[in-house]
């Protein structure tokens, strides 16, 4: 009996061992296939992200409702205030020649914001109460797209500020180019301050001017409701 194995048998045993060893190793994903798989997963991720962003963009924006003052107590106060005509002669002593019918308004946040720097006036009331005081040349100078009309604005405690009276957005009348300074000098606040505004012509220079009287209601800290606005200002 032979105790040694032949070369053929040895080669066969080595082949079997190698096959057995390779079966134990984890299978590796081919490099090209791995890259393609990663690219596919990335594409699916970005595609889902774009769809989610599109859905979010198409959804209507939900704005937080603005809190308004609709109290009966403040309505009564404002109706009483509306009956009282301020003495504009005390604001612009010795310089006025007749006053227009006044415009009244509550100061809103947009009226005192630094990036706005203008006081917006009711266009219908300006048209019926103030524009008749202007001559043809002055009316042309306030039209939309022009630099506006130079005016002097008289306020409480002797405040006088040079401004521009003009039209924004075709027919929206505003006082600007100096309004922010007037707000600071007069210490005006949003919501609680209510203005009575009248136009007049300077008795000496014949220049168009404005007189602004301010009344503060500390109990009012929000924009007025449409119901109160209609009752007080229309």
Give tens-digit pLDDT for 6-21: 666 666 677 777 666 6
Whether residue 78 is found in the same domain as residue 181: yes
- What is the mean pLDDT of each successive set of 10 residues along the chain, which is 234 residues long? 59 69 56 57 64 61 78 96 90 87 95 88 94 93 86 92 91 93 94 97 94 96 96 89
Q: What is the CATH number of the domain that holds 220?
A: 2.40.330.10
pLDDT digits (tens, 9 = 90+) for 73-93: 999 999 999 999 998 888 888
Residue 19 belongs to a domain:
no
Residue 25 belongs to a domain:
no
Whether residue 37 is found in the same domain as residue 133: no
At how many degrees (to 10) do helices 72-83 and 226-233 cross?
20
Residue 34 belongs to a domain:
yes
Q: What residues make up the domain containing 188?
A: 72-233
Whether residue 220 is found in the same domain as residue 163: yes
Residue 181 belongs to a domain:
yes
Residue 3 belongs to a domain:
no
């Amino acid at each position: 009996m032979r105790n040694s194995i032949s070369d053929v048998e040895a080669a066969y045993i080595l082949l079997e061992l190698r096959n057995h060893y390779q079966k134990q190793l984890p299978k590796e994903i081919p490099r090209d296939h791995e890259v393609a798989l990663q690219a596919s997963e990335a594409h699916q991720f970005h595609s889902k992200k774009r769809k989610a962003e599109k859905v979010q963009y198409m959804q209507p924006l939900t704005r937080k409702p603005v809190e308004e003052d609709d109290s009966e107590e403040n309505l009564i106060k404002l109706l009483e205030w509306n009956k009282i005509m301020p003495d504009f002669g005390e604001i612009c002593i010795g310089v006025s020649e007749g006053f227009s019918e006044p415009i009244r308004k509550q100061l809103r946040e947009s009226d005192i914001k630094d990036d706005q720097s203008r006081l917006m006036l009711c266009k219908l009331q300006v048209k019926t109460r103030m524009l008749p005081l202007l001559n043809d040349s002055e009316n042309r100078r306030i039209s939309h797209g022009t630099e506006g009309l130079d005016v002097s604005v008289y306020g409480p405690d002797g405040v006088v500020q040079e401004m521009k009276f003009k039209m924004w957005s075709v027919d929206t009348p505003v006082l600007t180019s100096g309004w922010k300074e007037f707000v600071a000098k007069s210490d005006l606040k949003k919501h609680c301050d209510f203005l009575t505004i009248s136009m007049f012509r300077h008795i000496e220079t014949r220049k168009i001017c404005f007189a602004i009287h301010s009344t503060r209601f500390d109990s009012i800290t929000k924009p007025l409701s449409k119901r109160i606005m209609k009752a007080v200002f229309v």
